[in-house]
A and B are shown apart, each in its own frame.
Chain A
């Protein structure tokens, strides 16, 4: 039987307009053999969750540089839960202070990648933690 291709959504919630990091991540995922659904800038949590469900992704990676991570990232997790889709894991990256990370993890964010993380580390984390669904 053919093996599953891992599908991951990469999006930018909220108002900041810097998508260079998200594009680099999307490209690293492509090179790792994943199918990346790239939804671009200025997404609401509702849009991200609707897209994640329609695309049947295995995980959602959110890049956020605006400082609104404590609001937007938990909101995505909460909406996924409301849609019975919290098997879709959420991870985040961007300018996120260390002090905020425990709170985000408690809210359901599986991992937080801060500046300086290499794309290899993020790809490896996915390989270790996310399986394409059975």
Chain B
């Protein structure tokens, strides 16, 4: 039985192994994903993003508990950073979610960014596909702790929750470009802390200033204490309201089309890149390019054009 067949038959170990193959960019993983793709598209994907220490993992833990109470199966993909120096990583998001470890209706997978800069790993969307094929009703993707510009989560999720905490900056931060533009729901976590009302107000002001088109979704700002579980039901309600809006307004069709485009272009770019690198390795093309550049007889712009032309000619 192939890994994908085992995944569809409910084999947890096979699913975990396929995720590893995806993360390690094994060619076999692509073949397995082809088999699984037709069995996906049923899960609802929630993205959780925000700065380091905002309480994202604790929030994921609470959301998981809430969805489990509704009888839904939950998959979690949690991303932490890879060291740019050693390639190693400490993946610590599970610490907050351990109570779900032995629940067979929950599957949690930690991924390292492995050099990707958008807040996710390159493998995240495909790992979520495996969870989808496993029959998870809800998939929660927790990004690495982000600053201002890591917005890949919108490519992967149906509903994106941006988690903030009091005391991170003034209201100019709130009108800058970046992660504050991508929230469908805003959470001010650690709502027992001083300054929570001010942070919530600044976010609300920022949202009111948006030139939103008529009939578009209006994000709400919710105060939450994830550690105590306070405000979680309101958050779940908002996520459900956003989902209902997506389907009722037809926005879901655009969202899925955009997501499919990005997914396809990402795959295309990765496979082209890999083919070009293989080509360069085979014929020592890279060494020739570097020799030419070193000798001053070749510029990198012409070299890139020549490599692509040479590869296309070869077929």
Contact = CB atoms under 8 A, between A and B. Distances in A.
Interface in B1-48: 12-13, 16-17, 19-20, 24-27
B300 interface: no
A127 B19 CA distance: 23
B52 interface: no
B83 A56 contact: no
A40 B82 CA distance: 19
Given A56-B17, A56-B19, A1 B26 contact: yes
Given A43-B98, A47-B98, A30 B83 contact: yes
Interface residues of B, number: 30
Given A2-B25, A30-B86, A32-B86, A46 B102 contact: yes
Nearest to A29: B88
Interface string A7-49: 1000000000000000000110111111111111001101100
A65 to B, nearest CB: 18
B109 A54 contact: yes
A55 interface: yes
Interface string B71-109: 000000000001100111111101100100110000111
Interface in A79-115: 83-85
Contacts of A30: 83, 86, 88-90
Contact of A53 (B12, B26, B112): B12
B86 A31 contact: yes
A53 B86 CA distance: 25
A60 B228 CA distance: 31
A48 B92 CA distance: 14
Contacts of B86: 30-33
B220 interface: no
Given A1-B27, A2-B25, A46-B102, A56 B16 contact: yes
B110 interface: yes
Contacts of B88: 29-36
A130 interface: no
A40 B20 CA distance: 22
A50 interface: yes
A38 B95 contact: yes
Contacts of A7: 20
Which 9 pairs show the lowest CB-CB distances between chains A and B? A30-B88, A40-B95, A56-B16, A47-B101, A56-B20, A50-B101, A33-B87, A33-B88, A38-B92
Interface of B: 12-13, 16-17, 19-20, 24-27, 82-83, 86-92, 94-95, 98, 101-102, 107-110, 112, 114
Interface of A: 1-2, 4-5, 7, 26-27, 29-40, 43-44, 46-47, 50-51, 53-56, 83-85, 133
19 contacts: A5-B24, A5-B112, A30-B90, A31-B83, A31-B86, A32-B86, A36-B90, A36-B91, A38-B91, A38-B95, A40-B94, A44-B102, A46-B102, A51-B94, A51-B98, A55-B94, A55-B109, A56-B17, A84-B13
Given A5-B112, A35-B91, A55-B91, 12 more contacts: A26-B90, A27-B90, A30-B90, A35-B82, A36-B91, A39-B95, A47-B98, A47-B101, A55-B109, A55-B110, A56-B13, A56-B17
